[in-house]
Amino acid sequence: MNLDDTIVAIATPPGRGGIGVVRIAGAEARAIALPMLRLKQELEPGRASFGELIEPCGSDTSSKSSGQALVSKNAGAEVGATTVGVDQSRAGASALREQRIDEVVVTYFAKPHSYTTDEIVEISSHGSPVVLRHIVELAIARGARLAEPGEFTMRAFLNGRIDLTQAEAVRDLIESQTLFQAKVAAQQLGGALSRRLQPIKQKLVELIALLEAGIDFAEDDVAVLPPDQVIERIAKIRAPLAELAGSFAYGKVVHEGLTLAIVGRPNVGKSSLFNRLVERERAIVTATPGTTRDLVSETVAIGGIPVKLVDTAGIRRALDEAESIGIQKSMEALADADLVLVVLDCSQPVTAEDGELLQQAAQRPAIVVENKVDVLSSEFSASSSQLSVGSSQLRAVRTSAITGEGIAEVRGEILRHVGGEAGGSAESGFLTNLRHQSRVQESIAALDAAEAAVRNNVPHEMLLLDLYNSLRALDEITGATTTDDILNLIFSSFCIGK
């Protein structure tokens, strides 16, 4: 990838729309863009200019016209008349070649005050794929190169405008499915994770510098940090890293969402509860047991987290082959789900089939919903309770899928299971990326090795190797020491034009 090239790409999604944007970035961006534009005013940095997209004419058109005019002035009437006719003909041809294609708004960003720190020209036209492709073709004809996926953001990173965590946040922001995901990505784009890592790295660098100084001046009897102080400093570096690593469980759910399977016996109200959570009649509901034969899924946002709800077939002894297949899929959905919602009919005694489901639920993240509270007396109004299953205690929420009683409590319980209370940590940055989590764990492992080295009286030269490994892992998060292979892998997942 040559960073000296001028690159071009359509920056808006494929298809037709009201507006489409073509982005040109590089040293020749302005020179490439101007011949295809007829502007009402000169391009100024940071300002939008209205104009027209035109088909550029040949570069020698104006000189030929001037030469013909000179001949017309000095020649006789007949020759002059002929020359005027030629002039008009050439002017007409020039007008045809410069005819307007579209009205555009052009924004110019001067170096280094742009997304990539290069010269950037963005041409906003009507969102016709034909027009947008033609702008790209005109730019390529004048020397631009079609941008690779993520090349604009990669240039911003390589030119030092953003670090790698911010670059990855750009992709997360584009791919966000909920407003909360977008807010988290925007915080990461603003450097929330980098700011959280900075003081940790600073303490680590200070410890490395002290130990290096002790080695350099060992012959001068300069005192080196005693072992207990080295261990204390390592512990102060490790503690915030361990806290950051612990945020990944919640961050992963925020970033990727989770799957929730609704399971239970036939006719306990699974589909009705599913429809309540989806807030529309998505699944068929009848009084006949065994209506649901296949998995029905829908993704909703609960507390800003994408939750894929899966309504399953009622689990019982199958009456026919189709129901048997549906029950098999239900058991597979139960096994694959991140969270299980076990639905009971609280108007009936707990059956053996309910007990088997509860036993399975007790071994994994699960919520018990005691549904149909509306058919009971008022003393059984919707509330939470504890349900004993063997040696385990499962929290049970009483609901009515018919009246909507207890549905808010079910949503709250789902958030509690995925760590929704930790949402406040978003202000200080948390881990949402598996690559970041792996690097933090590597850094912690290196610190643990360093502490063990101190306790075993290993020379400081060897201890420093572990500390440098810890620092290198943190540098890979922000991109200070990231290899080209990792960079290519990250940016290849971006869309073209970003």
Q: What is the mean pLDDT of residues 466-484?
A: 86
Residue with tokens 């604009």: 152
Q: What is the rounded CA–CA span in Å between residue 359 and residue 334?
A: 13
- Mark whether 443 and 415 lie in a shared domain: no
What is the per-residue pLDDT for 283? 54
Q: What is the mean pLDDT of residues 307-332?
A: 70
pLDDT at position 94 over 60: no
Please indicate whether residue 422 or residue 472 has the higher confidence score (pLDDT): 472
Q: What CATH number corresponds to the domain at position 142?
A: 3.30.1360.120
Lowest mean pLDDT of 172-176, 279-283, 403-407, 448-452, name the range.
279-283
Name the pLDDT band for 274 (thresholds 50, 70, 90). confident
Q: What is the mean pLDDT of residues 34-39?
A: 93
What is the per-residue pLDDT for 293? 52
Is residue 300 within a helix (H) or strand (E), and if so which, with residue range?
A: strand 296-302
What is the per-residue pLDDT for 147? 94
Please indicate whether residue 356 or residue 482 has the higher confidence score (pLDDT): 356
Q: What is the mean pLDDT of residues 388-400?
A: 70
What is the per-residue pLDDT for 82? 39
Q: CB-based burial of residue 127 (10 Å sphere; 0-12 exposed, 13-18 middle, 19+ buried)?
A: middle
Please indicate whether residue 69 or residue 454 has the higher confidence score (pLDDT): 454
Q: How many CA atoms lie within 13 A of 78 on its CB side?
A: 0
- Mark whether 156 and 15 lie in a shared domain: yes
What is the per-residue pLDDT for 76? 39
**Can you spell out the DSSP letters for 358-378?**
HHHHTTSSEEEEEE-GGGS-G
Share of the chain above pLDDT 90, in %: 33
Among the ranges 249-263, 431-445, 473-487, which has the highest mean pLDDT value?
A: 431-445
User: Nearest-CA neighbor of 259 among 187, 328, 336?
Assistant: 336
Task: Provide the residue range defining the domain that includes 231.
Answer: 170-247+429-479
pLDDT digits (tens, 9 = 90+) for 160-182: 999 899 999 999 999 888 888 89
For 471, list phi and psi in degrees, rounded to 5. -65, -40
Beta carbons of 126 and 20 less than 8 angstroms apart: yes
- Tell me the sheet residues that pair with 301: 306
- Mark whether 48 and 121 lie in a shared domain: yes
Residue 487: inside a domain: no
Q: What is the dihedral of CA 168, 173, 174, 180, to 10 degrees?
A: 150
Beta carbons of 136 and 12 less than 8 angstroms apart: no
Residue 485: inside a domain: no
Residue 278: inside a domain: yes
- Mark whether 40 and 137 lie in a shared domain: yes
- Tell me the sheet residues that pair with 387: 394
Q: CB-based burial of residue 388 (10 Å sphere; 0-12 exposed, 13-18 middle, 19+ buried)?
A: exposed
User: Nearest-CA neighbor of 364 among 491, 469, 449, 260?
Assistant: 260
- Mark whether 343 and 368 lie in a shared domain: yes
What is the per-residue pLDDT for 294? 62
What is the per-residue pLDDT for 312? 80
Among the ranges 53-62, 196-205, 322-331, 389-398, which has the highest mean pLDDT value?
A: 196-205
- Mark whether 401 and 419 lie in a shared domain: yes
- Mark whether 11 and 110 lie in a shared domain: yes
pLDDT at position 49 over 90: yes
Q: What is the rounded CA–CA span in Å between residue 154 and residue 288?
A: 58
Q: What is the rounded CA–CA span in Å between residue 367 and residue 396?
A: 6
Q: What is the rounded CA–CA span in Å between residue 196 and residue 249?
A: 18
For 51, list phi and psi in degrees, rounded to 5. -170, -160
What is the per-residue pLDDT for 84? 41
Residue 114: inside a domain: yes
* Peptide bond between residue 112 and the one before it cis (omega within 30 degrees of 0): yes
What is the per-residue pLDDT for 71? 32
Please indicate whether residue 233 or residue 87 has the higher confidence score (pLDDT): 233
- Mark whether 40 and 182 lie in a shared domain: no
pLDDT digits (tens, 9 = 90+) for 326-373: 677 777 777 788 888 888 888 788 788 778 778 877 778 888 888 888
Lowest mean pLDDT of 267-271, 443-447, 466-470, name the range.
267-271
What is the per-residue pLDDT for 376? 67
pLDDT at position 469 over 90: yes
What is the per-residue pLDDT for 498? 81
What is the per-residue pLDDT for 130? 95
Name the pLDDT band for 275 (thresholds 50, 70, 90). confident
Name the pLDDT band for 393 (thresholds 50, 70, 90). low
The three-state secondary structure class of 489 is helix
Give the distance, in angstroms, between the CA of residue 460 and the centroid of all CA atoms in the same chain.
Answer: 42
3-state helix, strand, coil in the chain (%, to 5): 50, 20, 30
- Mark whether 153 and 224 lie in a shared domain: no
Boundary of a domain, candidates 381, 402, 423: 423
What is the per-residue pLDDT for 77? 37
pLDDT at position 444 over 90: yes
- Mark whether 205 and 324 lie in a shared domain: no
Boundary of a domain, candidates 162, 188, 205: 162
Q: CB-based burial of residue 305 (10 Å sphere; 0-12 exposed, 13-18 middle, 19+ buried)?
A: buried
Beta carbons of 305 and 418 less than 8 angstroms apart: yes
Q: How many domains does the chain have?
A: 4
Handedness of CA 302, 305, 306, 308 (dihedral sign): negative
- Mark whether 450 and 360 lie in a shared domain: no
Beta carbons of 21 and 124 less than 8 angstroms apart: yes
pLDDT at position 299 over 50: yes
**Which tokens hold the place of 483?**
């290899």
* Residues 133-162: b if buried by 16+ CB within 10 A, e if exposed: ebbbebbeebebbebbbbbbbbbbbbbebb
pLDDT at position 57 over 80: no
What is the chain's mean pLDDT, rounded? 80
The three-point CA angle 402-408-410 to 5° equals: 85
pLDDT at position 280 over 50: yes
What is the per-residue pLDDT for 392? 58
Residue 493: inside a domain: no
pLDDT at position 140 over 90: yes
Q: What is the mean pLDDT of residues 426-435?
A: 76
Q: What is the rounded CA–CA span in Å between residue 214 and residue 227?
A: 13
For 405, list phi and psi in degrees, rounded to 5. -60, 135
Beta carbons of 324 and 318 less than 8 angstroms apart: yes
